[in-house]
Structure 1
Amino acid sequence: MPDIPVLLIAVVGIALLFDFTNGAHDSANAIATVVSTKVLSPLTAVCMAGVLNLVGAFLGTAVAHTMGSGIVRPDVVSGSQGVVLAALMGAIIWNLLTWYWGLPSSSSHALVGGLIGAAVAYGGWDTPSYGSIAHKVLLPLVLSPLAGFVSGYLLMVLLSWLVRRSTPHRVNGLFKKLQILSSAFMATSHGLNDAQKTMGIITLALFLAGSIPEMTVPFWVKLACAASMGLGTASGGWKIVKTMGHKIFKLEPIHGFAAETAAAAVISGASVLGAPISTTHTISTTVIGVGASKRLSAVRWGVAGRLVMAWVMTIPAAALASAACYWLLALTGIAR
């Protein structure tokens, strides 16, 4: 069996790989609408999102604390970095599958599901922190898409009323400029919520290994996670950009501005409260809400249904994948 430092290095490396895949998988959250409305070129949008993801990652740690100590009981899994390793492996597997299929599922909930599955495989059904999961994960899982839909719908109705006397040409010109700001807000909020999740995972692994005395995120962990997510975002996620920007609802600049602004507001609020919500869920439902404000038939509800199926499947599918990874690691003697 490898020594703990070697295993810990492996856990940190795979955690940063997950952060990279998270950035690549979820880059669509910040740039799909601004690309689909042709406000920015794909290259410019991706570079902007990558930089602002990095900036957002330094703006708080509340979500990191939830991920590190609010999903599984650290005292029960103490000393087993194999749990964290298996959780990351299962989450990455699910991320790659949904990336291949072009489905904007939640990297966040893949990680939560991975932690739950690996912890149960290690210590049984008493290992997860069910109260915290219900309060910090499951409740936001339901409320954040609803908040996204409602806020996107209401903001679009308000904007439509405000520009009702303007010509389409003037409206498009104005919101092409404003959408750059809304896309920047969305990219920053994405880094604020999503990068912190991997920070929490690495901090948990360090605590379990006895490398840090308490669940406080070290600066180098913040820096490494921010950089990994920024690089992942810069690599793009073009299949998911296509789904988000074209297949749900045909967007114009005013629609992109409304969707991004509403989603970023919901995500930022959740981040302050320490809730690791899905940025994908939120931007998807704000796009649907914006489309529904025009007319219900403007939304391609078949595609929206596929997205909902992916959301529902994510936590149990990632949990099963991570449990299988833990049992495989245990068989090989890597995990205990």
Structure 2
Amino acid sequence: MDHITFLVAAVILTALAFDFTNGFHDTANAMATSIATGALAPRTAVLISGVLNVVGAFLSTEVARTVSDGIVDDTLVSPGMIFAGLVGAILWNLLTWLIGLPSSSSHALFGGLIGAVWVGAGSHGVDFGKVVEKVLVPAVASPVVAGVAALLATHLAYRLTDRAGGDCVTRGFRIGQIASASLVSLAHGTNDAQKTMGVITLTLISAGALGHHAGPPLWVVASAGLAIGLGTYLGGWRIIRTLGNGLAEIRSPQGFAAETASATVILTSTHLGFALSTTQVASGSILGAGLGRRLAEVRWSVAGRMAVAWAVTLPAAALVGALAAAVVHHGGDIGTAAVAVAGAALAVGIVVISRRNPVHAQNVNDAREATLHTEPSAKVGTAA
């Protein structure tokens, strides 16, 4: 315990705060389509998702090792750098949540860490080969793979059920959505909770509390799982509205196809140790499901805004992390305190602004009020 200084404890608490924001930011990945189609009541959906995120956190540590022993050199990282990176990630998460934009919590975290370590330790502190292999390649490939899989699954679902009664098909797929959405929540816990585990493990390694290349201790796994589960239960209603109603017109067969495709891609990537963005996977699946039903409404302007957010998330978080790291590096304890106060003030300001236009379980399916549901849409799709 001698290695757990005040700064290390502060970094661990900040990492868990990020994990909490990751939870409510990414609830939509698993439950947006089930809520939109009526397969699950909003509060029931976030409760199921929260519990399964906690369970998923205990199933694997491959992604945690990628974060703690992959993209940055743990021999050069200090707790102050990690703290600065986390501040950048949290602020980006809150900003994109405020505007209801499904950006990547994972890329916000990686961007914040990369920017902070680059400033604090130099460019040689970042393993850019690993960044490309474990982060950027999955970022490009995963939404495409998930989208194609969801498109084909949707097309097949409608072909197989085109002669069945409409109500019967809807009820059947809604039951299926409960299982598929639950599987996405479990998969989310196996991937996203581990990123915070990796950050805390990296902090403990940098402080000398763990040896190099160590995996996350059990208490780290448990605390990270609980934090993301609580955040998920809080419900990121703004982003749930965007994914459920703002990107594509989704019915039960499409929701089932999208969730199944997402779960498959996330679980496969977790097994391989790829720290992908579950938000990008879910968004790609929903877009593919929208394209898979003939004459379904797909809102390309919303998809375009999301793509822009995906592109700028990592560099934007890296810039904030770099600026915070510069203040911490040159200001010492005073600089660290200044970054903490400034970050907390900005976070509180974002939450206060969000109160002006609240989104909650009772109005989450009011599509016409969706933040991003304002531009013209297009009727597109394959024959189904």
Q: Aligning the two structures, in what range does the TM-score lie when normalised by the shorter sequence?
A: over 0.9
Gaps of 5+ in 2: 337-384
Deviations 1:106-133 (A, max 9, x none): 0001001111100111122221101111
Gaps of 5+ in 1: none
- The offset of 1:326, in angstroms, is 0.8
Counterpart of 1:11 in structure 2 is 11
User: Where in structure 2 are the equivalents of 1:223-302 lying within 5 Å?
Assistant: 223-295=222-294, 298-302=297-301
Contact 1:71/1:115, CA 8 A, preserved across alignment: no
Structure 2: distance between partners of 1:158 and 1:66: 36
Q: Give 3-state SS (helix, strand or coil) of 2:124's partner.
A: coil
- The offset of 1:161, in angstroms, is 1.7
Q: Give 3-state SS (helix, strand or coil) of 1:298's partner.
A: strand
The AA in structure 2 aligned to 1:317 is A
- The offset of 1:73, in angstroms, is 1.1
Structure 1: distance between partners of 2:158 and 2:38: 20
User: Where in structure 2 are the equivalents of 1:159-198 lying within 5 Å?
Assistant: 159-198=157-196
- The offset of 1:297, in angstroms, is 6.2
Task: Give the count of matched residue pairs.
Answer: 332
Counterpart of 1:207 in structure 2 is 205
Deviations 1:242-291 (A, max 9, x none): 00000111211111111101011000000000001011000101100011
Closer, same or farther: CA 269–296 of 1 in aligned 2, 3 Å:
farther
Counterpart of 2:120 in structure 1 is 122
Counterpart of 1:25 in structure 2 is 25
- The offset of 1:173, in angstroms, is 1.1
Counterpart of 2:81 in structure 1 is 83
Structure 2: distance between partners of 1:166 and 1:247: 29
Counterpart of 1:60 in structure 2 is 60
Q: Could you say which structure has the greater relative contact order, defined with CA pairs below 8 angstroms and 6 or more residues apart?
A: 1
Q: Give 3-state SS (helix, strand or coil) of 1:332's partner.
A: helix
Structure 2: distance between partners of 1:9 and 1:284: 35
Counterpart of 2:129 in structure 1 is 131
Q: So what's the TM-score if we normalise by structure 2?
A: 0.84
- The offset of 1:4, in angstroms, is 6.2
Structure 1: distance between partners of 2:47 and 2:292: 31
Closer, same or farther: CA 108–296 of 1 in aligned 2, 3 Å:
farther
Deviations 1:210-248 (A, max 9, x none): 001242110000000000000000101000010000011
Deviations 1:180-216 (A, max 9, x none): 0011001000111000000000000000000012421
Structure 2: distance between partners of 1:219 and 1:48: 23
Contact 2:19/2:196, CA 8 A, preserved across alignment: yes
Contact 1:88/1:111, CA 8 A, preserved across alignment: yes
Structure 2: distance between partners of 1:141 and 1:249: 21
Counterpart of 2:330 in structure 1 is 331
RMSD, aligned CA: 1.3
Structure 2: distance between partners of 1:86 and 1:148: 33
Which stretch of structure 1 is more off in the superposition, 246-255 or 266-275? 246-255
Q: Give 3-state SS (helix, strand or coil) of 1:116's partner.
A: helix
Structure 1: distance between partners of 2:312 and 2:153: 30
The AA in structure 2 aligned to 1:109 is H
Which stretch of structure 1 is more off in the superposition, 11-20 or 158-167? 158-167
Q: So what's the TM-score if we normalise by structure 1?
A: 0.96
The AA in structure 2 aligned to 1:172 is T
Find out whether 1:309 has 2:312 as its counterpart: no
The AA in structure 1 aligned to 2:262 is A
Contact 1:8/1:209, CA 8 A, preserved across alignment: yes
Closer, same or farther: CA 8–33 of 1 in aligned 2, 3 Å:
same
Structure 1: distance between partners of 2:178 and 2:254: 13
Structure 2: distance between partners of 1:124 and 1:329: 15
Structure 1: distance between partners of 2:296 and 2:68: 43
Structure 1: distance between partners of 2:281 and 2:137: 14
